[in-house]
Amino acid sequence: MAVGGYTLLELMTQPEAGPASPELVEVLIDAGAELDRALNLAACWNLADLCSQLLAAGADPTARADAGITPLESAAMHSSTEAADVLVEHGLHRHTLWLAAAAGLLPMVRNWVATDGSLLADPGPYRPDWADVGRPVGRPPTDDPAEVLDEAFVLAAANDRKEVVDYLLGAGVDVDARPYRNTTALHFAIQFGQLEMVRHLLRQGASVTIEDDTYRSDAAGWAQACESGSEDGVEIHRLVSAARSNRP
């Protein structure tokens, strides 16, 4: 049975459905519910426990059942770090630098990126396409190594992977790298409510005045638009506003 394009199991992944009941999920699994798209959606919405339950029931972590990307790729591009931590135990599948960075796999990143910023291996078969997760289309990726590293850096920051962020900064990546529509790591960290990463990027000198090409907004504008009333959101807004006031 499908409702609005979703099966009942897939509907349980949506925020408006509230927390998924493991018992009800088990009933649907036993009834033969399709698992793969539900896993992708659970990854998107950072439902780590549901991801574990679906994987245990046989969901395929390599399936590209929604938007043409794997569950781990979906988790990484939505900053769903807890879900990504569950999924990465099953491998990267499409072995790519940016995904290793987003998943916090520093030893793997080191195998790709030398301390001088040179690439030691092919970055992999899939470059992140933000249009796959509903964002405006960006320019096509190039083979420029700097752009490849910028992608890895931005995705690491969006997923609060501080060790990877610091390694890439040490390798020469610009803290204001913006490979997608002039959107910086700070913009993404603000959007996804990554308070400690926002704090860290500001300490590293991240610009608060750069405006992205989608919303034409600087970091303060992003902080205001993304503030949900949570303590972290309020603190992010305060930090960015303070940084804006203290810099030319």
What confidence score (pLDDT) does residue 62 get? Answer: 97
pLDDT at residue number 244: 84
Determine the distance from the C-alpha atom of residue 31 to the mean position of all C-alpha atoms in its chain, rounded to a whole number: 32
Take residue 38 and report the two structure tokens written for it: 């539900």
Beta-carbon contacts of residue 85 (< 8 Å; ≥ 6 apart): 48, 103, 104
Ordered per-residue pLDDT tens for the chain, 248 residues: 456 689 999 999 999 999 889 999 999 999 999 999 999 999 999 999 999 999 999 999 999 998 899 999 999 999 999 999 999 999 999 999 999 999 999 999 999 999 999 999 999 999 999 999 999 999 999 999 999 999 999 999 999 999 999 999 999 999 999 999 999 999 999 999 999 999 999 999 999 999 999 999 999 999 999 988 899 999 999 999 999 887 65
Coil vs helix vs strand at 119: strand
The rounded Cα 80 to chain-centroid distance in angstroms is 6
Ordered structural domains, the chain, with CATH: 1-93 (1.25.40.20)
- pTM summary value: 0.94
Scanning the chain, the segments in alpha helix (DSSP H) are: 8-11, 22-30, 36-44, 48-56, 71-77, 81-87, 97-102, 106-112, 145-158, 162-170, 185-191, 195-203, 219-226, 231-246
